[in-house]
Structure 1
Amino acid sequence: MGKTLIIAEKPSVATDIARVLGGFVKHADYFESDKYVLSSAVGHLLELAVPEQYEVKRGKWSFANLPVIPPHFDLNPIEKTESRLKLLTKLIKRKDVDALINACDAGREGELIFRYITRHVGTKKPVKRLWLQSMTPASIRDGFTKLLDDEAVQPLGEAAVSRSEADWLVGINGTRAMTAFNSQEGGFHKTTVGRVQTPTLAILIEREDIIKKFVARSYWEVHGTFAANAGKYNGRWFDEKFSKDKKDAEQKAERLWDQASAEAIRTKCQDKPGVVSEESKPASEICPLLYDLTSLQRDANGRFGFSAKTTLGLAQALYEKHKVLTYPRTDSRALPEDYIATVKDTMGSLESTRYGVFAKQILKAGWVKPNKRIFNNAKISDHFAIIPTSLEPKALNEAEAKLYDLVAKRFLAIFYPSAEFLVTTRITRVEDEPFKTEGKVMINPGWQAVYGKEVRAGGAEDESTLVHVKPGEIVLGEELKVIANQTRPPARFNEATLLSAMEGAGKLVEDEDLREAMSAKGLGTPATRASIIEGLVSENYVQRVGRELHPTAKAFSLITLLRGLKVPELTSPELTGDWEFKLRQIEQGKLERNKFMAEIAGMTSHIVEQAKSHRGETISGDFSTLKSPCPKCGGVVQETYKKFQCQKCDFALWKILAGRQFETVEMEQLITQREVGPLQGFRSKMGRLFNANVKLTDEFEMKFDFGSGSEEDAEEIDFSGQESLGKCPRCGSRVFDHGMSYACEKAVGSLRTCSFKIGKIILARPIEREQVVKLLHAGKTDLLPKFISKKGRPFSAYLVAGPDGKVGFEFEPRNTKSKTTAATNETKVTKPKTRTLSSKKVLSGKI
């Protein structure tokens, strides 16, 4: 009897399966038992490639060789994982292996990984599909008793391949076409685009355009403090006849657009008696839906500041490593209708945890019962909502514990009844002018009890509860104020709000149920949205500023180009969301793959043809005018698509230098101060990133300055007129801002007797002048975030100066719990670790 080869997506999953099924002997990178051979991929092992006869080896980035739409694709091994592919090929071809089990992640990408492997090997051996929603031992055992036929997931496989090929066609052709367009006048200006990434960028640009064009309008409100027998309360004047104006969202009942009118109301009502009328109505609030990945990422970003990528990584660890959450890469917010018994079992397991009081209450009250808002097969695609498993969480780190807590509380809260309130609206009428006051009293916390909300003793007042007023009581308008204010532009996107906009195909939908209904036509999938945002950041289209996402000059330039070329396929979130909807239809067997791919090929050809037909033309756009006059003639400098051009003389500066696009403020500084920097993100001809200052020469040309060379070879550097930052920790001389570094005055020039320098950029993080002052005076900076390690991971550290003047990192002490102290919650604090850095490494930032 032959053996069955099980292929998981990751080694850790293969290890779990081996442990649960039992009887395996471990070999190098695979397991074997009497019945099974078990191994895994390590993520994607193969990538799409154009067949050699259709690919152009030279000049492939030129218009002459576009579009590239091959009749089929080849698969090329990914170099760094080629050894694993060879192992799986060998195992698949073993003569004693007569069947395969696809145990890759239960979703589109897992299906793609497995199908590319079997296609590459060319095997015809029969395949079964293991579909796991949870990684608990019980779920794994159950999954092996319910293996799916390969035909059942064939549509999912077709959707996976279609997604992969569509992204390749649009991404490669679009990138080559836009790069060719931007490189017409010389140089090589790589301009990346993507089927989902670029419309997501367009969402950010559209919001930024609104903010830029926003003109603030002044308005006034009249606020009053009213004295009643039981105390004071506040009210705000409002227009009782107000009706919403769809054309002007800034119009609101309480706003007055004329200061004189507001002052007149204040004068009229000051120190005058008022008559009170009051109406109280019961209101209720239902618990939000269970989490899918996007809503979990959104809440984790809002509450903890976690990026979408971080949340996905934590959720994957809680699913795969700790096995305490169900499969996280889901877009469903409901559970299967036959899952009631499983939910009760999970509730039972939570009884012994810190959530026990709520789990017991739910089971005792019998609240786990059929409910279409929770248990609904029609709202489930490949996966159901993210909920806890029956395993108790142990050894979670702080971030994992926070995310688990979000999921566990939502899981408990969804079964509780609605929160109940008594909402009171009080109208205080003074001299026929109405003032509104609203109060809210919680009557029953319902599901909010899970989040710590309680009815307080003695009537349970909320912060907004009103002081009591007797029927017919006369109150006094004791203090009335006119509050001046201005309308504000919409807020910039953060990751939470951008995820919502992507889910709603560009529309920021606040209503949970409506957003869920629109999610089928969203941009990307829950599993890919995090990587889309990270891709925009890594390509320098977007920068994180605090929690906000700011599009860069490079981003504006790309969207300006695409709008000018009239290719809405790459700028319309709704249109691209429709492509995602069609991929879902392929998964469900409602759309043929070849029809979708024909549409993608047509879209690709249109993008390329539009770029070709606009060659040599100037792209129009909403460009800025610099405040700084032309340094050559004093004329006005106007931004164009590719340059900053004087309108009177021939002075012009390219917007892109060494692959990096200048921001308007950077160009302003370069023109006024003849120097800007140090700036990051330049790329050499060899493709290597570097940092540099940029100077404007006497000939009005841009030139790199790396802080060394002829200037440092001079006999002496003149620091007169510059303010010293402090004393050199090595020799006691003065430290100055110099070129690419903060340097001791004796570490530059021809007669160097000291080597103290600190780079202005260390590990991709600009070092602020004030932090260097602190380092020189106190021996230590503040805790500095956003250093980027060699592995691309962000970290925070102090810069400290040692007794020998060497500068190093000092890391925050970590809280660790030993086995003996964990039970008593005693915390052991580790000592801060310091790592010393050589001055050369600090200067270059290559620590």
Structure 2
Amino acid sequence: MGKSLIIAEKPSVAADIAKALGGFTKHTDYFENDQYVISSAIGHLLELVIPKEYEVKRGKWSFANLPVIPPHFALSPIEKTSSRLTLLNKLIKRKDVDMLINACDAGREGELIFYYILRHAESNKPIKRLWLQSMTPDAIRGGFTKLLDNTAVQSLAEAAVSRSESDWLVGINGTRAMTAFNSQEGGFHKTTVGRVQTPTLAILVEREEKIKKFHSQKYWEVHATFATTTGSYTGRWFDEKFNKNAANQELKPERLWEQPKAEAIRDKCMGKPGTVSEESKPSKEICPLLYDLTSLQREANGRFGFSAKTTLGLAQALYEKHKVLTYPRTDSRALPEDYIATVKDTLQHLSNTEYGKFSQQILASNWVVPNKRIFNNSKISDHFAIIPTALTSTKLNEAEAKLYDLVMKRFLAIFFPAAEYLLTTRITRVEMEPFKTEGKVLVNPGWQSVYGKLAQSDNQEENVSLVAIKPGETTVVTEDIKIVDHQTRPPARFTEATLLSAMEGAGKFVEDEELRAAMSAKGLGTPATRAAIIEGLVLENYIQREGRELHPTAKAFSLITLLRGLKIPELISPELTGNWEFQLRQIEQGHLKRSSFMEKIAEMTKHIVEQAKSHRGETISGDFSILKTPCPKCGGHVHETYKKFQCQSCDFALWKILAGRQFEVDEMETLITQHAVGPLQGFRSKMGQPFNAIIRLTENFEMKFDFGNNDDSQEEIDFSNQTSLGKCPKCGHAVYEHGLHYVCEKAVGANKTCSFKTGKIILERPIEREQISKLLETGKTDLLTRFISKKGRPFSAYLIRAADGKIGFEFEQRTPKKTTDAKPKTKTSKTKTVRQTTS
């Protein structure tokens, strides 16, 4: 009898399977026993390429060779993991291997990884599918007792390949066509687009356009303070005849748009008695649904500031490494109807943990019963909601523990009864003018008790109710009336949490979670891909993170303007792109043929290229800015166009893109006003290498790079118009800004006697003047975030000044975790990691 080759997606999963099944001998990159051979991919090992006979060697960026729609695709090994692909090929072709078991992640991308490996190996051996929802040893062993036939996931593989090929066709053709269009007047201006990435960007740009066009309006509110025999309370005037206007969300019953009207109400009611009526009614609030990946990413971003990518990584570690969560890449928020016994078993295992109080209460009260909000087969696709497993771990880091706590509390809370409130609405009428006061009292916390909420009688501070009015007391005294002025605010910028919601609702920000879940089938991307889409936009400098907000760059506006001008709605309409995702889901479910979907994608690709070709030589119109700064040559008005900042009265013009980087309007204002701007990041050399530089405007009004290489100049450097940042740690002279650095005044120019300097940008992070001043004065900056390591990973650190004046990193010390080891540790290391920076 032959052996079965098990192919996992990652080495750690292969090791977990070997451990769960037992009896394996470890070899280099694979395990083996009498029944199985286990190895793994390392994520994707192959990528789509054009077959050699259809790929052009030259001119790939010109319109002449577009569109590129090969009749079939070839696969090319990814160079850095080619050795693993070679190993898998050998194992697949072993004569004693007569069956293959696909143990890649149970989803679309896992299916694609295995499918491409199989296609590359040209194997026709029979295949079984291991489908895991949890990585616990019991779940792994259970999965091998009910392996699926490969035919059961054939439609999933077809959807995966369709997704891969459609992204390639649209991405390659769209990027080459837009690059050709933007490069037609000379230079090479790479302009990347994507089937899902670009419509997502359009959501951000449209929101930013609304913010820019927003004109704030003043409005007034009238607030009164009323006195009773038991105390005082406040009320706000409102219009009882107000009708909601869907077209104008700024209109609200308590807002007055004319100050004299507010003053008239104040003068009319000041010091006059008021009559009181009130109504109290009970209200219930049910627990939100269990988490899918997108809702978990939203919550973690809003609560902890985690990016979607960070949350996905943490959830994957909790599933794969610690085995305390079920499969995270899910779009379902319900559990299978036959999962009641499993839930009870999990709750039983949690009895001796910090969550035991709640798990025991659920079991004792028999709250785990059939409930369509929780247990519903019709609401489950490939995977069910994210919940804890029966295992626990004490080895979670701080971020992992925070995410685990989110999932755990939602899992427990969903089985608790609804929270019960008493809502009181009090209307106080003074001279026939109504003032409203509302109070909300938590009567029975229900599921809120899992989150630490207590009833009114237990916790007076957290539940502030209205001052009571004695029975029969209907008249109050108007103690004070104030007019409070406000201004309308523009729409809020997207955070990752709100962008994920908009992506899930195909561009519509839907607050109601159950309605959003119903729309998610036509959302942008999938829960598993949305984090990568956002990261891709950041990587291509289409958006920037500023705190928790996402800001589209000038490059983003330029791309969306171009696509609007070329009339390519397929690349900017979230609804259209959401429909493509819906069709991929139909392929998964066997309701749509792959060939039909790919024909539509080919038509879309041809249309994109044809629109770009047909508009060659034309000016793209758009909503462009007029600079506040006059033309430095003639004093005329400088207008932004699609490609330039152009004076309307003379020939002065500056290109918007230089060395692959697009200038923001405020950067161009600074350059024209001060004849220099920077240092700026994001430039790329002809070899594709990133670099930073100051841009200077020459006497001939041309842009010129300044790399700060004039430190050895024999001319005296004049710092008289600058304010010193502090004393040089090496020689005691003053430190100033100079080019790309902060330097000692004696480290540049003719009288150079010192060597102190440090970069204005260190590891892709701009260093603010105030931080340098603090470094020089105290020897240490604040904790600075968003440094990027050589491996592309963000990190936080302090900059510190050593005794010899050199600048280095100091990393934040982690609080040591409590340990339950029998033998306490007697020594504690308190060393700090310090690394010298490079300027």
TM range (shorter): over 0.9
After TM superposition, the structure 1 stretch with the greater mean CA deviation from structure 2, 805-814 or 297-306, is 805-814
The whole-number CA distance in structure 2 between the counterparts of 1:696 and 1:822 is 69
Helix, strand or coil for the counterpart of 1:278?
strand
For structure 1, the residue ranges without an aligned partner over 5 or more in a row are 843-847
CA contact (8 A) 1:816 1:830 kept: no
Cα deviation, residue 782, structure 1:
1.4
Cα deviation, residue 825, structure 1:
13
The whole-number CA distance in structure 1 between the counterparts of 2:822 and 2:631 is 67
5 Å matches for 1:670-819?
670-709=671-710, 712-817=712-817, 819=819
Match of 1:483 in 2: 484
After superposition, give the CA deviation of every residue in 1:271-318 in whole Å (9 maximum; x if it has no partner): 111000000011000000000000000000000000000000000000
Cα deviation, residue 43, structure 1:
0.1
The whole-number CA distance in structure 2 between the counterparts of 1:645 and 1:825 is 70
The whole-number CA distance in structure 2 between the counterparts of 1:583 and 1:830 is 54
CA contact (8 A) 1:441 1:460 kept: no
Helix, strand or coil for the counterpart of 1:425?
strand
Match of 1:21 in 2: 21
CA change 1:792–1:302 in 2 (3 A) is: same
Match of 2:327 in 1: 327
Cα deviation, residue 804, structure 1:
0.9
Match of 2:557 in 1: 556
After superposition, give the CA deviation of every residue in 1:608-633 in whole Å (9 maximum; x if it has no partner): 00000000000000000000000000
Match of 2:81 in 1: 81
5 Å matches for 1:412-811?
412-457=412-457, 462-470=462-470, 471-709=472-710, 712-811=712-811
5 Å matches for 1:234-249?
234-249=234-249
CA contact (8 A) 1:155 1:586 kept: yes
CA contact (8 A) 1:815 1:827 kept: no
Match of 1:107 in 2: 107
After TM superposition, the structure 1 stretch with the greater mean CA deviation from structure 2, 264-273 or 644-653, is 264-273
Cα deviation, residue 247, structure 1:
1.7
The whole-number CA distance in structure 1 between the counterparts of 2:257 and 2:210 is 22
Match of 2:97 in 1: 97
* 1:170 and 2:164 are equivalent in the alignment: no
After TM superposition, the structure 1 stretch with the greater mean CA deviation from structure 2, 103-112 or 729-738, is 729-738
* 1:218 and 2:222 are equivalent in the alignment: no
Helix, strand or coil for the counterpart of 2:124?
coil
Match of 1:408 in 2: 408
Cα deviation, residue 537, structure 1:
0.4
CA contact (8 A) 2:441 2:456 kept: no
CA change 1:408–1:458 in 2 (3 A) is: closer
Cα deviation, residue 752, structure 1:
2.5
CA contact (8 A) 2:443 2:456 kept: no
Helix, strand or coil for the counterpart of 1:746?
coil
Match of 2:182 in 1: 182
Cα deviation, residue 829, structure 1:
7.6
Match of 1:263 in 2: 263
Match of 2:44 in 1: 44
CA contact (8 A) 2:273 2:476 kept: yes
CA change 1:278–1:818 in 2 (3 A) is: closer
Cα deviation, residue 345, structure 1:
0.4
Cα deviation, residue 59, structure 1:
0.5
Cα deviation, residue 458, structure 1:
6.9
Helix, strand or coil for the counterpart of 1:563?
helix
For structure 2, the residue ranges without an aligned partner over 5 or more in a row are none
Helix, strand or coil for the counterpart of 1:415?
coil
* 1:340 and 2:340 are equivalent in the alignment: yes
Helix, strand or coil for the counterpart of 2:514?
helix
CA contact (8 A) 1:818 1:828 kept: no
The whole-number CA distance in structure 2 between the counterparts of 1:481 and 1:301 is 38
What residue identity is the alignment partner of 1:281?
K
Percent identity of paired positions between Structure 1 and Structure 2: 75
After superposition, give the CA deviation of every residue in 1:192-250 in whole Å (9 maximum; x if it has no partner): 00000000000000100110111111111000111011101010000111111122111
What residue identity is the alignment partner of 1:620?
S
TM-score by structure 2 length?
0.98
The whole-number CA distance in structure 1 between the counterparts of 2:423 and 2:372 is 28
The whole-number CA distance in structure 2 between the counterparts of 1:307 and 1:821 is 34
CA contact (8 A) 1:670 1:695 kept: yes
Helix, strand or coil for the counterpart of 1:713?
coil
Aligned residues: 838
The whole-number CA distance in structure 2 between the counterparts of 1:575 and 1:20 is 45
CA change 1:823–1:639 in 2 (3 A) is: farther
Root mean square deviation of aligned Cα: 1.5
Match of 1:250 in 2: 250
Cα deviation, residue 159, structure 1:
0.2
The whole-number CA distance in structure 1 between the counterparts of 2:555 and 2:437 is 48
CA contact (8 A) 1:421 1:440 kept: yes
The whole-number CA distance in structure 1 between the counterparts of 2:285 and 2:819 is 43
After TM superposition, the structure 1 stretch with the greater mean CA deviation from structure 2, 447-456 or 328-337, is 447-456
The whole-number CA distance in structure 2 between the counterparts of 1:489 and 1:732 is 49
After superposition, give the CA deviation of every residue in 1:791-812 in whole Å (9 maximum; x if it has no partner): 1111111111111111111111
The whole-number CA distance in structure 1 between the counterparts of 2:457 and 2:492 is 39
CA contact (8 A) 1:815 1:828 kept: no
After superposition, give the CA deviation of every residue in 1:689-722 in whole Å (9 maximum; x if it has no partner): 000000000000000001114x742332222332
Helix, strand or coil for the counterpart of 2:528?
helix
Cα deviation, residue 772, structure 1:
1.1
TM-score by structure 1 length?
0.97
CA change 1:6–1:599 in 2 (3 A) is: same
The whole-number CA distance in structure 1 between the counterparts of 2:38 and 2:366 is 43
Helix, strand or coil for the counterpart of 1:54?
coil
Match of 1:118 in 2: 118
What residue identity is the alignment partner of 2:202?
A
The whole-number CA distance in structure 1 between the counterparts of 2:755 and 2:576 is 58
After TM superposition, the structure 1 stretch with the greater mean CA deviation from structure 2, 472-481 or 284-293, is 472-481
Match of 1:141 in 2: 141
Match of 1:845 in 2: none
What residue identity is the alignment partner of 1:161?
V
Helix, strand or coil for the counterpart of 1:290?
coil
The whole-number CA distance in structure 2 between the counterparts of 1:136 and 1:827 is 35
CA contact (8 A) 1:817 1:826 kept: no
* 1:299 and 2:272 are equivalent in the alignment: no
The whole-number CA distance in structure 1 between the counterparts of 2:383 and 2:827 is 39
CA contact (8 A) 2:156 2:589 kept: yes
What residue identity is the alignment partner of 2:655?
W
CA change 1:480–1:829 in 2 (3 A) is: farther
Cα deviation, residue 785, structure 1:
1.1
After superposition, give the CA deviation of every residue in 1:565-608 in whole Å (9 maximum; x if it has no partner): 00010000010000000000000000000000000000000000
After superposition, give the CA deviation of every residue in 1:414-457 in whole Å (9 maximum; x if it has no partner): 00010001100000001100000000111110100000001143
CA change 1:542–1:217 in 2 (3 A) is: same
Cα deviation, residue 748, structure 1:
1.2
After TM superposition, the structure 1 stretch with the greater mean CA deviation from structure 2, 333-342 or 465-474, is 465-474
The whole-number CA distance in structure 1 between the counterparts of 2:817 and 2:680 is 42
Cα deviation, residue 753, structure 1:
2.1
After superposition, give the CA deviation of every residue in 1:131-154 in whole Å (9 maximum; x if it has no partner): 000000110000000000000000
What residue identity is the alignment partner of 1:156?
L
Cα deviation, residue 750, structure 1:
4.1
* 1:316 and 2:310 are equivalent in the alignment: no
What residue identity is the alignment partner of 1:67?
P
Cα deviation, residue 818, structure 1:
6.2
What residue identity is the alignment partner of 2:563?
L
The whole-number CA distance in structure 1 between the counterparts of 2:407 and 2:707 is 50
What residue identity is the alignment partner of 2:120?
H
Match of 2:282 in 1: 282
Cα deviation, residue 675, structure 1:
0.2
CA change 1:41–1:639 in 2 (3 A) is: same
Cα deviation, residue 735, structure 1:
1.3
CA contact (8 A) 2:637 2:649 kept: yes
